[in-house]
Amino acid sequence: MNALEIRDLTKEYPHFRLDRLNLTLPGGCIMGLVGENGAGKSTTMKLLLNMIHRDGGTITILGQDNRSDLSLLKEEIGVVLDDVGLPECLKAGQIGKVMKGIFKSWDDAEYENYLRRLSIPTDRKFKEFSRGMKMKLGIAVALSHHPRLLLLDVICSRQTSFA
């Protein structure tokens, strides 16, 4: 089964058009979507996650249309967006507790392991983290519920090292 299939995906804005994008990602493979700023990478990511409405085409994630039931798909997908989007007022350990209530397959031991391996401080609030540290925590969260598909947006465009 393919992890991701995009067919004739179209999204139009007044000054930008994503025009009939076709892409297939077989299960077990790694793919990078590379392009200049404004090429449509983040738009594509938002379309994958059904954060914005597509004008045309189909998106199939792990065999399911991404519009059918994203709540079921969220268990199968790990996501790190450019704006990590975790609660600013919480510490890393508290964020883990919140995620445990969101993901049925949340793995506390795995999360603690990532916090340790990535040297993420557990005694500081998320809003106090550097951009790189926020990305590391986003990766720890994304991986700690054992997703079958991992989607990372703009993570490699920064000069941050991810141990």
**Distance from C-alpha of 160 to C-alpha of 157, rounded to nearest angstrom:** 9
Domain boundary residue, one of 73, 97, 130: 73
Would you write out the chain's pLDDT as a tens digit for each of its 163 residues?
899 999 999 999 999 999 999 999 999 998 888 888 888 888 999 999 989 999 999 999 999 998 887 777 888 999 988 777 888 899 999 999 999 999 999 999 999 999 999 999 999 999 999 989 999 999 999 999 999 999 988 655 544 444 4
Which of 40, 52, 84, 70 is CA-nearest to residue 61? Answer: 70
Same domain membership, residue 1 and residue 25: yes
pLDDT at 155: 55
Q: Judge whether 59 and 9 are in contact, CB under 8 Å.
A: yes
Domain boundary residue, one of 73, 89, 119: 73
Write 50-55 long-range contacts (CB < 8 A, 24+). 52/11, 54/9, 54/10, 54/11, 55/10, 55/11, 55/12
For 83-95, b/e burial (b = at least 16 CB within 10 A) is ebebeeeebbeeb
pLDDT at 156: 54
Residue 158 is part of which domain span?
Answer: 78-163
Same domain membership, residue 143 and residue 68: no
Same domain membership, residue 47 and residue 9: yes
Same domain membership, residue 96 and residue 61: no
pLDDT at 89: 93
Phi, psi angle pair for 92, to nearest 5°: -55, -45
pLDDT at 124: 93
pLDDT at 104: 93
Number of domains in the chain: 2
CATH number at residue 100: 3.40.50.300
pLDDT at 159: 42
Same domain membership, residue 118 and residue 62: no
Same domain membership, residue 144 and residue 98: yes
**Distance from C-alpha of 105 to C-alpha of 97, rounded to nearest angstrom:** 13
Same domain membership, residue 157 and residue 83: yes
Longest dimension (CA), the chain: 47
Residue 47 has a CB neighbour count (10 Å cut-off) of 23
pTM over the 0.85 mark: no
Same domain membership, residue 112 and residue 53: no
